[in-house]
Structure 1
Amino acid sequence: MNRIINIKKYYTCKEHLDKKFDSGRKSRLKAETKEEYLKWKEETRTLLKKVIGLDKMETCELNPETLEVIRLENGITREKVVIQVEPDVYMPFYILIPPVIKTDEIQCFLALPGHSGAGKYSIAGCYEIPAVADKIKEFNYDYGMQLALLGYVVLCPDIRGFGERREEALQTDDESAFINSTCFHLSHMAEPLGQTVTGMNTWDMMRLLDYLKKRNEWKYDKVGCVGFSGGGMLTLWLSALDDRIQQAIISGYLYGYKDSLLTLNGNCSCNYIPHLWEYVDMGDIGALLAPRQVMIQSCRDDHLNGPRGLINVYEQLEIMKKAYRLFGAEENIKHDIREGGHRFHNEVFPLFFHC
């Protein structure tokens, strides 16, 4: 027996919200000179810090504690460290230290995790964990370890909601819980307090940069950052708001918000920031990186690009390039396109380090 009725017409608000989106972007990049850009950059950074709730974050002593030091078979030394990022809020992370460290201007990279990879465990190449090994194979997720093998010191953190920082809802030994994150729950807790998941994680990465300075073993004022998917999102935001990041690789996360987060409205809660679309599109955020080196990596069939595919990416890249042209630095922004779906491609490393 059929217990429901067939609804032949639905009365939705999507079209109405599309129009609201089109009337937004009030703080878009309009600069025609370098001086106008620098003024826009300062004003937009101040605005975005407030929008994502950085003004709500509380500073404190880092109180770093080294929990373990292991020498891996490949010669990499892996340290596990925990720091205090806010009062009584702690962040564990791995540091991968190669036996011979680069003497380049940039010695250190932050390698930031995306979804469905168990946080730091995939990024740092914990192949001994079978569920993690599967995700590394699926997404090529061990880019932190790959960078360490190239001679860089790499910090691989658990961002909020991932790995050892999962909130109560996923604090079980179930494989799905271990692999996934509690972004949904964090978002529901944070937003009524005027905070966002993006803001909290951006803050924590800034504290990680503070830790590098406090440790004072490697160059800390010019650091690289790499991330795929949700890690690409955090790389974008951190690089946009903190000039200590001098090189960035953003993989699987550069596209227009309307196609990829309004039309594709089932993405993770950490993508959604109240009032953001009233002011900027993603390319405007990316424009805040100029004139620093950045590599954007896109996959042609990545579903997150939205229904228009790479066209949605190109439009945002053009906004970024406008900022780079003001500095005569178009050579510092590159776009690496790969075939297939949502995945990190490590071919980006030799391309990036020779650009």
Structure 2
Amino acid sequence: MKKIKYIFLVSIFALTFANAQSTSDTNFRKPVSETLKKIETLFSVTINDDRGLLKGKELDYSDWRIEPGNLPLSLTNILAPFELMYFKQPDGTYIIRKYENHKVSVDKGKERLFYLESLYSTKEEWEKRKTELKACMIESFGLDKAPPTPKSKPLLTPKRIYKDYSVENIALEILPGVYATGSIYKPYPLNKKAAVILTPDGHFGDGRYRKDEQYRCAMMAKMGAIVVGYDLFAWGESLLQFPEETHRNSIASTVQVLTGIRLLDYLATVKDADMTRVGVTGGSGGGSHTMFLAAIDDRVKVSAPVVMVSSHFSGGCPCESGRGIHLCGNGTNNAEISAMMAPKPQLIVSDGKDWTLAVPELEFPFIQRTYELYGKKDLVENAHFGKEGHDFGISKRMALYPFMAKYLNLDLDKVKNDKGEIDESTCVIEPKEKLFVFGDKGEKLPKNALKDINKLYEMFGEKNLKVYEVKK
């Protein structure tokens, strides 16, 4: 009886103490902004809350969460309870932003690369991880559940003939009722086997109709390649099937990867296509899908992801990061996915005004290390344009052409002028109407064209978690 009474008294004391802790004035609660000012003083840094995300936010034991000598941990301790995070800017200041799964600070990206380096130090260890990553990516994208390619023939428009190249538009049924749309640029006349280059479109204005994509497709065709530029899902002519808002469905990522794979399947049936010489290059979102396709499809022999390789950014659109592939291998990033191309030739194009700003000092050495495991360090290159921004501009294209020529055995002289300079001026920039395959008003869209995003998910045994009005 005394023992029971003792336990009862101890329990009452514990409850009373816990209640006192929760209601006492010693929880050191204070505005988060005040603690961050203290951090600024302690670490001699500047922290900007330019979006007012800290307004009205208070935290128990706020100052106690400061970890002496460790600024990253201190900031994380303070911000994480509010699903906020910090980003270090090029000028050394820090800004506060809402948590986003696809974006972390540069120093967090650096930490991740150090961790990844610890996982493998030999070619054999890397090959094992690479195999695991590839299998996980295929499963995450849902490619293992994709229905077979329909047996329909591709829809092709009449060719337009220009100086040293031709253009025809294509619609390829990659899934029942789902058409991938693009344009095929070929050397003209085409009298010998030609290399194959895919150029997935990125999130730039005017899609694949814009000048820079037409330039690079035409130029590489002049050099001796069959080049296919193609639309993103729910962009360009794909909008005839799926409304613009569905581009931000995660299934868009699956369809875009599958488009590249099934375009290569189709090109393998083209008489003059040399499938031993296959390249892929795209910028921004197209850069993401350049990396994905190169990592998954062994037919890709040369890759050039443009303004997208980053250890701290994996793409702000679900069409890039919506399928959870960056959770593969207990956590990966685009730098490691880029490294999966090793030991095959790869050109990484970066700039100083987007998430690729640190590539020369951070991601490129990490990727080079993987190539070194094969003794092929020289097969990966970085063209960095520190004063430029997020585009596929002329300087980036001028870096691309010699690289593709070198490793796909193309004729760079075909695109040089009398001064020996690479010259794009002989390429014809077509109005977007000429690049349509379904007609000016979509009147040639096949009758079986799918317009229900929910049924697209069902093809993969999934359910759409977003609800849209079905397009009639």
Same fold (TM over 0.5): yes
Matched to 1:268, the amino acid is C
Partner of 2:293: 238
Aligned to 1:283: 335
List aligned pairs for 1:87-98, cutoff 5 A: 87-98=176-187
Change (3 A) 1:59 1:325: same
Structure 1 residue 60 corresponds to structure 2 residue 60: no
Q: Which residue of 2 aligns with 1:86?
A: 175
Cα separation, 2, equivalents of 1:276 and 1:24? 16
Paired with 1:211 and 1:317, the residues of 2 have a C-alpha distance of 33
1:208 aligned onto 2:263? yes
Q: CA deviation at 1:285?
A: 0.6
Does 2:127 match 1:38?
Answer: yes
CA–CA distance in 1 between the matches of 2:150 and 2:56? 57
Is the CA contact (8 Å cut-off) linking 1:62 and 1:85 kept in structure 2? no
Q: Which residue of 2 aligns with 1:125?
A: none
- Tell me the CA shift for residue 18 of structure 1: 8.3
> Are the aligned partners of 1:68 and 1:80 in contact in 2 as well (CA < 8 Å)?
yes
Contact 1:95 1:154 in 2 (8 A): yes
Measure, in 2, the Cα distance between the counterparts of 1:312 and 1:75. 36
Deviation (angstroms), 1:81: 2.2
Which of 221, 228, 232 is 1:155 aligned to? Answer: 228
**Distance (Å, rounded) in 1 between the aligned partners of 2:138 and 2:351:** 30
Pair 145,18 (structure 1): closer, same or farther in 2 beyond 3 Å? closer
Any conservation in 1 of the 2:277–2:301 contact (CA below 8 Å)? yes
Q: Indicate the structure (1 or 2) with the bigger Cα radius of gyration.
A: 2
Distance change >3 Å, CA 206–CA 244, structure 1 → 2: same
Q: Distance in 2 between matches of 1:84 and 1:168?
A: 12
Distance 1:289 1:245 in 2: 9
Question: Paired residue for 1:335, among 363, 382, 386?
Answer: 382
Aligned counterparts of 2:172 and 2:115: Cα–Cα separation in 1: 35
1:278-334, CA deviations, whole angstroms, 9 ceiling, x for partnerless residues? 320111111110001000111222x233xxxx2256422233222101110011100
Deviation at residue 69 of structure 1 after TM alignment: 1.8
SS at structure 1 position matched to 2:172: strand
Give the residue type in structure 2 aligned to 1:154. Answer: V
Partner of 2:322: 273
5+ residue gaps, structure 1, are 1-5, 123-135, 171-181
Deviation of residue 26 (structure 1)? 12
Tell me the SS of whatever aligns to 2:129: helix
Secondary structure in 2 aligned to 1:211? helix
Q: In structure 2, how many angstroms separate the alpha carbons of the residues matched to 1:149 and 1:351?
A: 13
Q: Partner residue of 1:144? A: 217
CA distance in 1, matches of 2:288, 2:239: 19
Q: Provide the C-alpha distance between the structure 2 equivalents of 1:163 and 1:63, rounded to a whole number of angstroms.
A: 22
Question: Percent identity between the aligned chains?
Answer: 22
Tell me the alpha carbon deviations over residues 27-76 of structure 1, each in whole angstroms, 9 at most, x when there is no partner. Answer: 94622222222222211100111222223322223422343122333342
Summarize deviations over 1:90-111 as a string: whole Å, max 9, x none. 112211111155968x611112
Give TM-score, length-normalised by structure 2.
0.58
CA distance in structure 2 between the partners assigned to 1:168 and 1:28 by the alignment: 41
CA deviation after TM superposition for structure 1 residue 234, in Å: 0.8
Distance between the aligned counterparts of 1:18 and 1:113, measured in 2?
A: 24
2:166 counterpart of 1:77 = yes
CA change 1:95–1:62 in 2 (3 A) is farther
2:84 to 14, 18, 21: 14
2:352, 2:358 within 8 Å by CA — same for their partners in 1? Answer: no
Return the structure number with greater relative CO, CA threshold 8 A, min gap 6. 1
* 1:227 equivalenced with 2:288 (yes/no): no
Cα offset, 1:157, TM superposition: 1.6
Q: Match for 1:113: what amino acid?
A: D
TM-score by length of 1: 0.75
- Cα 1:101/1:335, change in 2 over 3 Å: farther
Let me know the Cα RMSD of the aligned residues: 3.2
Residue 256 of structure 1 is matched in structure 2 by 311
Deviation at 1:350, TM superposition (A): 4.4
| Amino acid in the other structure paired with 1:297 | V
The whole-number CA distance in structure 2 between the counterparts of 1:103 and 1:41 is: 36
